[in-house]
Amino acid sequence: MISAHLPALQVVVPLLAAPVCLLLRNRHAAWLLAALVTWATFIIALGLLAQVADRGTISYAIGDWAPPWGIEYRVDLFGALVLVIVSGIGSLVMPFARINVEREIPAERIYLFYVMYLLCLTGLLGIAITGDAFNLFVFLEISSLSSYVLISLGHDRRALTAALRYLIMGTLGATFYVIGIGLLYMVTGTLNMADLAQRVPDLLHLRTVEAALAFLIVGISLKLALFPLHLWLPNAYAFAPTTVTIFLAATATKVSVYVIIRIIYTVYGGAPIFREGILNEALMGLGMLSMVAAGLVAIYQSNVKRLLAYSSVSQIGYMVLGLSFGSVIGLAAGIVHLFNHAIMKAALFMALGCATQQVRAVSFDDLAGLGRQMPVTMGALVVGALSLIGLPLTVGFVTKWYLIQAALQDGAWLAVIVILASGLFAVVYTWRIVEAAYFRPLPEDREEVREAPLGMLIPLVILAGACVVFGIGATWPMDLALAAAESLIGARP
């Protein structure tokens, strides 16, 4: 009986846990509840993935109101994969959070932190599971509002301005999204995505439908920090508490990429809008600009967290480039990079978090000589950096391989050059971290630094291990991504 209700439970369990956390008012109990609930959502997500792989797309009518009138939760392969990524990263972040949050957030606010985290998780999972375009907006707001609060909890005062800036940009993005949905509703009279997918492709010649697409794409591009709309991201990631940075960097932008793919390939039917308009040129151009510009800026950062944040903007370019080809292999490369980038960026930020837990600051000087003092942490950081560069035997290579294949298939030579060049930028900026950690001498005044606590090291090692395991035997995520891309494109010839 319970397996039939997994789609509802996926969202309801963390939603119910958030107010309970507020009532508990105890930071240890709040952590325990948040961790148990996150692990439960991961199990539910795996269950959903197994169900979808077994029986195909699941539809769940909320309140037994039949779609398209009621709100429908709809899980297909792509959605299930995103659910697994979000809840999986959350599950790994939780043990790390217990120790890290104690240090970075005042004790009396820690239970509030877990309330916000659970709401953010609810929102992100809800976005990936709902089949209703307006319900998606509601979850987008839940996840956004809670992430503004999470970012503002950073102990640096600049976290407040970073959060405010994100709030303004994010609200603009959400407003654009809801305007787009409003325009579509005006023309079609429906909000259900599957129902929209039946109607919208025949109405593409209407100016209203075109305007709706423009609003939707710009709105979501703000949320996913596509160049040149990325300005909120570097400071937000740099000044947020480390746990928040890891969680948001690995999930929030990925979920936004999920939304943009949903809009383009499910609601608008993919191929036709790519053939007629300039959408794919625009996305391809902006994707490549993201890769190059953010990669260049990353090289000149002095704060390591900001460097990694700019690298995230550059990596988002890969995903957008992948989906802009409009081919199965390109889309699959974009989707698999959701997964790959989630684990490698989580590993990198987490390694940095372990380092800052022990030495406090995040400039290159603070990292000097840490390679000898914290071998496990810095080893994981190197694995993450190699993945970012895209060296063979790491997950980054898998993405690049398929992305280049897609570019060659499309005859987009410029894209091939940009992919290779952005790999070179990654070499430069990750080398600066490696150089500081391994080749600089220990500062004279440095006290004895020990390896991070085990609770932080274990999730870090799992993430770094995943970067290699899925890099060598990359069949499982790639097969899933290919199947998901085929079903997204194949649904509408």
* Of residues 366, 151, 166, the one with CA closest to residue 241: 151
Regarding 12 and contact with other proteins (CB under 8 A), the answer is: yes
Helix (H, G, I), strand (E, B) or coil at 363: strand
- Closer CB to other proteins, 15 or 346, in the complex: 15
CB 71 within 8 A of CB 132: yes
Q: Roughly what angle, to the nearest 10 degrees, separates helices 77-104 and 454-472?
A: 150
Total number of residues that touch other proteins (CB under 8 A): 16
Residue 9 or 187: the one with the smaller Cβ distance to other proteins is 9
Please report whether residue 342 would count as binding other proteins according to CB under 8 A. no
Shorter beta-carbon distance to other proteins: residue 45 or 482? 45
- The answer to the question of residue 109 lying near other proteins (CB under 8 A) is no
**23 counts as binding other proteins under rule CB under 8 A:** yes
The one-letter amino acid at 420: L
Does 19 interact with other proteins (rule: CB under 8 A)? Answer: yes
Give the nearer residue to other proteins in terms of CB position, either 22 or 203: 22
DSSP 439: T
In whole angstroms, how close is the CB of 135 to other proteins at the nearest point?
12
Report how far residue 154's alpha carbon sits from residue 90's, in angstroms, rounded to the nearest whole number. Answer: 19
Closer CB to other proteins, 15 or 485, in the complex: 15
Based on CB atoms, which residue is closest to other proteins, 19 or 106? 19
Interacting residues with other proteins between 53 and 82 (CB under 8 A): 60-64
Task: Confirm or reject binding of residue 113 to other proteins (CB under 8 A).
Answer: no
State yes or no: cis peptide before 241, omega within 30 of 0: no
Per-residue tokens: 392: 């063979």
When the beta carbons of 9 and 282 are compared against other proteins, the nearer one is 9
Q: How many residues are listed for the chain in this entry?
A: 493
Beta-carbon count within 10 A of 322 CB: 32
Whose Cβ is closer to other proteins: residue 16's or residue 138's? 16
**Residue 134: in which H helix or E strand, if any?**
helix 133-152
Minimum CB separation of residue 229 from other proteins in Å reads 30
Q: Rule CB under 8 A: say whether 292 interacts with other proteins.
A: no
Q: Binding to other proteins by residue 20, rule CB under 8 A?
A: yes
d(CA 39, CA 51): 18
Task: State the DSSP string of 392-422.
Answer: TTSHHHHHHHHHHHHHHHHT-HHHHHHHHHH
Per CB under 8 A, the segment of 14-22, 95-103, 127-135, 376-384 that binds other proteins is 14-22
- Residue 296 CA to residue 333 CA, distance in Å, equals 23
Instruction: Give the containing element (helix H, strand E) for 367.
Output: helix 364-367
> Per-residue x/- marks for other proteins, 239-278, CB under 8 A?
----------------------------------------
Nearest to 131 by CA among 80, 183, 194, 185: 194
**Can you give the three-state secondary structure of 147-191, one letter per residue?**
HHHHHHCCCCCHHHHHHHHHHHHHHHHHHHHHHHHHHHHHHHCCC
Nearest distance from C-beta of residue 81 to other proteins, angstroms: 23
The 10 Å Cβ neighbour count of residue 406 is 27
Please list, in sequence order, all residues whose beta carbon lies within 8 angstroms of the beta carbon of residue 58, skipping any fewer than 6 positions away: 7, 48, 51, 52, 73, 74, 75, 76
Site string for other proteins, 432-461 (x = CB under 8 A): ------------------------------
Q: Does 45 bind other proteins (CB under 8 A)?
A: no
20 or 299: whose CB is closer to other proteins?
Answer: 20
8 binds other proteins (CB under 8 A): yes
For residues 60 and 137, which CB has a smaller minimum distance to other proteins in the complex? Answer: 60
Least CB distance to other proteins at residue 112 (A):
10
65 vs 300, which CB is nearer to other proteins? Answer: 65
By CB under 8 A, tell whether 117 contacts other proteins.
Answer: no
Task: Specify which residues 132 forms β-bridges with.
Answer: 192
What φ, ψ does residue 155 adopt, rounded to 5°? Answer: -80, -15
Residue 25: CB minimum distance to other proteins, A: 8
By CB under 8 A, residue 108 contacts other proteins: no
User: Considering only 7-15, 78-86, 156-164, 174-182, which stretch makes contact with other proteins by CB under 8 A?
Assistant: 7-15
- Identity (one letter) of the amino acid at 240? A
Whole-number minimum distance, CB 119 to other proteins, in Å? 10
- Please check whether residue 177 is in contact with residue 215, taking contact to mean a CB–CB distance below 8 angstroms: yes
Residues forming the site for other proteins (CB under 8 A): 5, 8-9, 12, 15-16, 18-20, 22-23, 60-64
